[in-house]
Structure formats: C-alpha cells, structure tokens
Amino acid sequence: MLSKFANVFSIPDIRNKILFIFAILVVFRLAANIPLPNVDPSALGDSAAFGILNLFSGGGFSAISIVLLGLGPYITASIIMQLLTMIVPSVERMYKEEGEAGRQKFNTITRVFTVPLAVLQTFAMIALLRSQGVVGDVSPFTIVVLVTVATAGTIFLMWLGELITEKKLGNGVSMMIFAGIVAGLPSLVSQLWSTFNSQDILTYIGYIALTIATIVGVVFVSEGQRIIPISYARRTRSGGGGSGSSARTHLPIKVNQAGVIPIIFAVSLVTFPTLIGGLMQGSSNARVVEIGNTVAALFANSFFYGALYFGLVVLFTYFYTAVIFDPEKIATNLQKQGGYIDGVRPGQETVDYLGRIVSRITLAGAIFLGLIAVLPLLAGVLTGNESLAIGGTSVLIVVSVVIELVKQIDAQLVMHNYEKIG
C-alpha cells in the first residue's frame, strides 16, 4: 500500500491532478464558511432535515454561507434532464446517439437549467429561514442580494465540481459532498467526546458495529459483479480450406452500477417536502398553514420517511442503471465484433438476455443499498439519536467515493505503465 502511495506521487501527471483536486476542495471549504449578510446562524434549529441539508451542502448550510444550497439545484437539474431522456425521444437521441457533441449540449442545458432552480430554491430557503428567525426583517433589495449571492455560490460550486470531474479521478459532486463530510468529522468527534456518558457505552458500541457493517456492505455491493462469458468466432485458412476457432473473454456486470448517485438523488428529493411544509407553516393563510402542518407531521413519521427514502433509493438505482447501461448497444457492438453469449442468439435475444440479467442483479443491489440507507435511520429511532440517520448516509458516501477514487487512480497507474512500456 505504501509503495503504491509513493508510486502515485512519483508520477507528475497523477500527482498534479490530486493536488489540483485538493486545492479545489480547499477553496470549496473556504466558501462554505463565508456567511451571507444579515443572517444569524446560531438561531438555526436542529432537525434531521436541516442536518441532511447541511450534509449535502458540504457544511455550507449550518453556517448560512454563500453556498448554503450546495449543489442541490444542479443535482435537481440533472435528475430532471435524465428523466427527460426516458420520456422525450429528442433528448434521448442527444444524450445517447450524438456522441461527445450531444453529451456537451446535454450538459450545457443542465447548467442553464440550474440557474432558475437555484433562484427558486434560494428564495424558498430564505423564506424558510425567516420563519425560523435566522434571517430578520429585511428589505426587498436585501432579499434580492441574498438570492443573487446564494445563486452565484451554487453556480460557483457547479463549476468547481466540473473541474474535478474533468481530471477523471472521481465525480465532482460526490467529491465535494465527501469533503464536507470529512471536514465535519473533527467537530463530531469533539462533540461525542464532550457528551460521552459511560451509561451509553452499549449505544456507542452499537453505532460502531453499525458503521463497520455499513462499510462492509457498501464494499461488498460495489465490488460484486456478474461475469457473462463472451465468445468471438474467428476463421483461419490453411491451403485451400478453412477451419474455425474461437476466442473467449467475459462481460462483467456490476451489482450496483449507479454507485452513490442513488443516495444523493434520493436524499435531495426526500428533504424538499419537509422544507416546503416548514415554509407553508409560516404563511398567514390558515389553509396553507394546515397543509404545511400535515406535510410536516407526515414526514416526521419515521416509518413513512424511511419507507419513502428506501423506495427512492431503489427507484433511482434502477433509473440510473438504465441511463448508463444500454443492453441494445452492447448487443449491437458484440454482433459487429463477431461476439456472442454462449447459448444465446445474437440480436434481440441477446438484448433480452442482458436486460433480464441486469434487472435481477440490480434488484439485489438496490434492495441491499436501500436497506443500508435506512438501517441507521431505524437505529436513530431506537436510540433517540437522529444524528445516526445522517451518519449512515455519510458512511455510504464516504466509502463509495473512496472506492471510486482508488479505482480511478489504479486505472491511471495502469495507463501510465502501459504508455511507459510502449
């Protein structure tokens, strides 16, 4: 391990990429600690919804910083655009059939769509914070300034995230959320130490055991894959005749191809009804307040919240897998290259076979990932400590990001060694 670490930093290209990403994350952490004007972060309440919002803003929400929304609007825009690929044929063609140019156009539309979403979400967030007493009575001009600054903060983070992604050492969105989680670990350890009670030792042991089980589970699912044998027919000629031979390889299909993206998508969506309910509770209209109370009470129910969270994780695992894995394209490429799956006819039969395999293993991976996601929430209900729910999601993200980063670095090392030999 130490030799590999030294090898990574001995290669200038990889070392420069890692240092660049580290510098970007430092800039992000600095921005997350610059507060918006006319706010009082100490008045912010303590709830699971606010805790998860703080988690996905990289710590920017707790400080009511210029990046208090984090990459939430960008994630929402990405979800909407990817949903459109399943509904609108022209968007699907642009994303899947027009190559790199189509992908760039798709990403540009996502970025543009992020701006109005950021404006709307910032305005709603400020209204909610005003109802909580975090933002005092301010003039319309000040509200415009707050919305403009927070929206610019989100666009700035979106740019930083894309700079990280371009280095091909991980997903920028996941890396920035990862940085926020890691940055909060010292204060979490300090808080646990200051409130340590020997009578709760079993609770701490249970939390540690749950964390270890979550890590093992995420690694198991991330590394699990189904191997499908592939044969390639070849013709060889000797004299006037010919004989046939075949070369064999395999097609690996991962149990969880979506990685940590389903968790990010699910949490991004499941927190919005809580925020909307809290916003409606501050209305002067009695009917609106009643609806807000109903929504707040519904999402305060741990069973409903956990069931919705679980369902969204499963749904987005299937959804994202469908976006990134195309059985028809793989079957077409195999047929063009003279490849086939043993016992399966090329063409539509191969498409159907791959579809069935992906559907079955994705079901197992999605359910497993959903269970890991809600187990800490259940532990939080049993122990009365809501921070356990946030901790479980944090462990999922941290472990998944580390696994992906290690794989990307290994791939870069292999590429460098191959070029060196060549």
Residue-wise pLDDT for 201-225, tens only, equals 777 787 778 778 778 877 887 788 8
Distance, in Å, from the CA atom of 192 to the CA atom of 421, rounded to the nearest integer, reads: 51
Inform me whether the pLDDT recorded for 64 exceeds 90.
Answer: no
Distance, in Å, from the CA atom of 149 to the CA atom of 210, rounded to the nearest integer, reads: 40
Q: Which of 2-11, 354-363, 366-375 has the lowest mean pLDDT?
A: 2-11
Inform me whether the pLDDT recorded for 235 exceeds 50.
Answer: no
Write down the H helix ranges in 195-300. Answer: 201-223, 261-270, 272-281, 286-300
Distance, in Å, from the CA atom of 108 to the CA atom of 129, rounded to the nearest integer, reads: 31
Note the pLDDT of residue 115: 92
Token output for 353 = 């076979």
Inform me whether the pLDDT recorded for 356 exceeds 60.
Answer: yes
Residue among 416, 337, 293 at smallest CA distance from 14:
416
Domain-wise residue ranges, the chain: 1-194, 197-422
> Which has more pLDDT, 58 or 284?
284
C-alpha distances in angstroms, 256 versus 82, 107, 151, 177, 283?
18, 24, 33, 20, 43
Contact between 6 and 154 under an 8 Å Cβ cutoff? The reply is no
Confidence of residue 374 (pLDDT cuts 50, 70, 90): confident
Task: List the CATH code of the domain at 1-194.
Answer: 1.10.3370.10
Residue 32 in 3-state DSSP? Answer: coil
- Average confidence (pLDDT) over 102-110: 88
Note the pLDDT of residue 50: 65
Token output for 278 = 């809290």
Confidence of residue 47 (pLDDT cuts 50, 70, 90): low
Write down the H helix ranges in 34-139. Answer: 48-56, 72-87, 89-96, 99-131
The residue with tokens 């609770």 is 203
Distance, in Å, from the CA atom of 32 to the CA atom of 57, rounded to the nearest integer, reads: 8
- Average confidence (pLDDT) over 235-244: 49
CATH superfamily of 197-422: SecY subunit domain (1.10.3370.10)
Does 1-194 match 197-422 in CATH topology?
yes
- Average confidence (pLDDT) over 69-81: 84
> Which has more pLDDT, 182 or 136?
182
Residue-wise pLDDT for 81-95, tens only, equals 888 887 888 888 887
Report the share of the chain in percent with pLDDT over 90: 6
Count the neighbouring beta carbons within 10 Å of the beta carbon of residue 327.
Answer: 19
Confidence of residue 160 (pLDDT cuts 50, 70, 90): very high
Report the share of the chain in percent with pLDDT over 70: 82
Secondary structure letter of residue 65 according to DSSP = B
Note the pLDDT of residue 58: 67
282-321 burial, b for 16+ CB within 10 Å, e for fewer?
eeeeeeeeebbeebbeebeebeebbebbbebbbbbbbbbb
Residue-wise pLDDT for 314-329, tens only, equals 998 888 888 788 888 8
Residue among 109, 135, 155 at smallest CA distance from 36:
135
> Which has more pLDDT, 194 or 165?
165
Residue-wise pLDDT for 326-347, tens only, equals 888 888 888 888 888 888 888 8
Token output for 250 = 């395999």
Residue 344, Cβ density class (10 Å: 0-12 exposed, 13-18 middle, ≥19 buried) = middle
Distance, in Å, from the CA atom of 366 to the CA atom of 231, rounded to the nearest integer, reads: 30
Distance, in Å, from the CA atom of 8 to the CA atom of 21, rounded to the nearest integer, reads: 14
Inform me whether the pLDDT recorded for 237 exceeds 60.
Answer: no
Task: Tell me the pLDDT of the chain averaged across its residues.
Answer: 79
Inform me whether the pLDDT recorded for 261 exceeds 60.
Answer: yes
In DSSP notation, 153-221 reads HHHHHHHHHHHHHHTTSS-HHHHHHHHHHHHHHHHHHHHHHHT--GGGHHHHHHHHHHHHHHHHHHHHH
198-210 burial, b for 16+ CB within 10 Å, e for fewer?
eeeeebeeebeeb
